[in-house]
Amino acid sequence: MKKFLKVTAIVMVFAMLACFAACGSAPEKEAEKETLVMATNAAFPPYEYKEGDEFVGIDIEIAQAIADKLGMTLEIKDVEFGSIIGGVQTDKFDMGIAGMTVTDERLQSVNFSTSYATGIQVVIVASDSNIKSLDDLKGDGSMKFGVQQDTTGDIYASDTAENGGYGEDNVIRYKTGADAVQALKTGKVQAVIIDNEPAKAFVEANEGLEILDAEWAREDYAIAIAKENTELLEKVNNALAELEKEGKLAEIIDKYIPAK
């Protein structure tokens, strides 16, 4: 009999503990959604730009779709392109989405998600220019190249001739691609090296410019995440895979880059 009581008491204690655990975890009200902070440079149409006060573009919609899948609230920080990686490294931002090319050098500082788009570096020139092909681009001091600072266009163009560049002295860096294009229009630079989709948008918005019919470099765009934050990297990769499977990724890209 004593033994029976003892067992009953133990069972009751366990039952009470189980109840405490279960009841304790029931939230009083729905917990507030966690924030997912993305850094971008909203001067890169059609990936990220502003319409009035609103951020729009492929990257903005992909980030929103990822946040939705993670049950988080998206917060957008519009910063200089060159400060995105540093901010991701120091946890100021959870992720950088900015038409950002995966490079070996950047991979030493941050991790990248799976790639969600391809970028091509192209060359914009004035339509009446005698630069008609990549062979006409010279790093001999006879011409200047405009780039957006800290982008791959900048990094490659500023490199030495033996590495395929035109030399740092021949490159002028601007804060945005739009500023570089302005410099091309006023003759301060004779060529702008930039990603193909913004190039198309800039040429469309400005008369007298054209894109050389050649690929200067082909690249993968991906999302930058801090090296330690492997948990977020995995969640983002899973979300991207789902978005791809659902056709949502293609839908977002097609909305901004209609197939011809």
61 binds ligand GLN (CB under 6 A): no
151 binds ligand GLN (CB under 6 A): yes
The residues in 184-203 that bind ligand GLN, with binding defined as CB under 6 A, are 195
Peptide bond into 27 cis (omega under 30): no
44 binds ligand GLN (CB under 6 A): yes
41 binds ligand GLN (CB under 6 A): yes
Minimum CB distance to ligand GLN smaller for 82 or for 167: 82
Whole-number minimum distance, CB 200 to ligand GLN, in Å?
14
- Contact string 96-135 vs ligand GLN (x = CB under 6 A): --xxxx-----------------x----------------
Assess contact for 36 and 64: CB atoms under 8 A: no
The residues in 71-90 that bind ligand GLN, with binding defined as CB under 6 A, are 81
List contacts with ligand GLN (CB under 6 A): 41, 44, 81, 98-101, 119, 148, 151-152, 195
